[in-house]
Amino acid sequence: MLIATDQFNFMVHHQVLVKQTDSGVTKDLADSLTNNFLNQMASLSLDKGFYSKLNKQYMDTLSLLQLCLKRLSQTKKNRQHDLKIAQDS
């Protein structure tokens, strides 16, 4: 079960995953949320199960103020990228 909530914990999206992985539905989830909440969504936080190199590249193209899509262990480069995003917002 995939559930997306807003800042007030109101459910804004749900999806039953059958033979799908979190990382396999990341792009569709982000597209759905950005299309439904255009100009209303400032950030998107996902846990480590959604991480893949392709997903990271795709999410970097979205024009969100803050994006949290992280692996369990961060490299120095990833930490610098996160600091830059935090400073820009």
Would you kindly state where each structural domain of the chain is located, as residue ranges? 2-88
Enter the tokens of residue 35. 């299309």
Q: First CA to last CA across the chain, in angstroms? A: 31
pTM, to two decimals? 0.65
Enter the tokens of residue 32. 């759905």
Contact (Cβ atoms closer than 8 angstroms) between residue 66 and residue 85 = yes
- pLDDT tens by residue, 28-82: 988 888 888 877 877 787 888 888 888 888 887 876 645 555 554 455 566 666 5
